[in-house]
Amino acid sequence: MARIESLSAVTLAVADMARSTAFYDALGLERVHHQADFTSYRCGEGFLNLQQVAAPSPSGWGRAILWVDDVDAMARVAVAAGGVLDGEPADAPWGERYVHCTDPDGHELSFARPVDNPVFRPAAPEDIDHLLELNEAEVPAVGSLDRDGFDRLLDQADRTVVVRRGGSIAGFVVLVREGSDYASPNYRWFAERVPSFLYVDRVVVAPDHRRRGIGRALYRWVIDAAGDLPVLAEVNTIPRNDASLDFHADMGFEEMGRVAHAADKEVAMLRHDPVGATLRSGSLTASSEAPGAGETFTTLLWQPGVTVEQIVSSDAPDTHEQVGDADEWVVLLDGSADLEVEGVVRTLAAGDWVVLPAGTPHRVLSTSSGARWLAVHVDPPGTPA
């Protein structure tokens, strides 16, 4: 008896071939044939074809389901290329993560990937040896620890949670609350500025579970578990970890400031506030925390179009000319400084302020050690959010 073995191809009627090929090119499909009225893409072992027609294709015909390696990332690519999502990516009870999308001609697509639903639970004593092995496999992305050091970390943590998928440990996260005697300098930096929080000391994903959404699932669990508390974490900027910085930004984290531990080691200090949070508090950086050279910048508030930051200067500031793309109001809180604006030198004392319109050339000529500034950046009207 004859049987269907696989789907060979789906052919979609399109009204504008250039617009449609731009969309499907952006999704990363491989073109295997192209002419004015017909284009074919390789799609796994099958094909996706585009056929230009005189009128837009009728709706309601059904949906083409495309298996992808990262549903969330593909959804972002599709939106950037002109697609429209029908909701957010979600885990379905039938064992797939999926999202529905409509292409520029109105064709309904579904990006999907089979998954096993992750299961979260507190780490058990019998897990510890394996968790330490996973930790060491992630060095230098996380700090190396021996068994005694790992045990001390878990004792100081508020909780350690493992995630299991497919019958094995897929990853774990170590979380620390305020009030711990944990000696990490990054934890201490947060503790001096945020009264109550949940600190992500480390997130580790097992090598055989990477690129399957485990890190994102762990962070979603942490954010839900934090409730009304902000979630704090840090990411390397020297050496720069762009993948992690992009991931945290996508998860809704905002930068509070940066901490330089050495010439070749700097981290961005990140904060995720609960949805609907209205009250925030902290403390300004003290003059005694001035860097050895240059300046440190701490973001106190970010809203679309407005950034408020504190700057602490050394007595060896960066004297290169700067041209900002936002209007800036800056006040010297304490200390002294010489500022050159469009060739004119201005000597500032504590309490002096200046407005630097967007595009104004300026540079800092000198500052006293520990000079502290407060700066408010406002995007000019018409600036994209």
pLDDT at 24 over 90: yes
Q: Selecting from 3.40.630.30, 3.30.360.10, 2.60.120.10, 3.65.10.10, what CATH number does the domain 284-385 have?
A: 2.60.120.10
In this prediction, residue 384 carries a pLDDT of 44
Identify the pLDDT of residue 284: 86
Instruction: Flag whether pLDDT at 303 surpasses 70.
Output: no
Arithmetic mean of pLDDT, 98-104: 89
Q: What pLDDT is attached to residue 61?
A: 61
CA distances from 372 to 75, 332, 338, 375, 382 (A): 43, 6, 13, 10, 31
Statement: residue 325 has pLDDT above 60? yes
Q: Does the fold of domain 284-385 match that of domain 9-114?
A: no
Q: Compute CA 35 distance to the chain's CA centroid, rounded to the nearest angstrom.
A: 40
Closest by CA to 267, choosing from 275, 257, 281, 252, is 257
Q: Where are the domains of the chain?
A: 9-114, 117-248, 284-385
Extract the tokens encoding 192: 């001096």
Round to whole Å and give the CA distance between 321 and 340: 9
Overall CATH class of domain 9-114? alpha beta
Strand partners, 14: 52
The answer to whether residues 57 and 13 touch, using CB atoms and an 8 Å cutoff, is yes
Kindly report, residue by residue over 244-294, the tens digit of the pLDDT: 999 999 898 999 999 999 888 899 999 998 876 456 677 888 888 888 888
8 A C-beta contact, residue 78 and residue 87: no
Tokens (6 digits) for 340: 């050159």
| Digit-coded pLDDT (tens) for 151-209 | 999 999 999 999 987 557 899 999 999 999 999 999 999 999 998 999 999 999 999 88
Q: What interhelical angle do 128-137 and 147-156 show, nearest 10?
A: 110
Architecture of the 117-248 domain: 3-Layer(aba) Sandwich (3.40)
Name residue 262's beta-bridge partners.
Answer: 265
pTM of the model: 0.48
Residue 2: pLDDT band (50, 70, 90) is: very low
**CA angle, 331 as apex, 326 and 336 as ends, to 5°?**
125
Q: What average pLDDT does range 14-39 have in this prediction?
A: 91
Radius of gyration of the chain (CA): 26
Lowest mean pLDDT among 213-217, 227-231, 274-278: 274-278
Q: Which two tokens stand for residue 57?
A: 């294709």
The Cα–Cα gap between 184 and 179 comes to 13
Per-residue pLDDT, 140: 81
Give the pLDDT score at 161: 96
Coil, helix or strand at residue 349: strand
The pLDDT value given to residue 311: 92
pLDDT of residue 166: 59
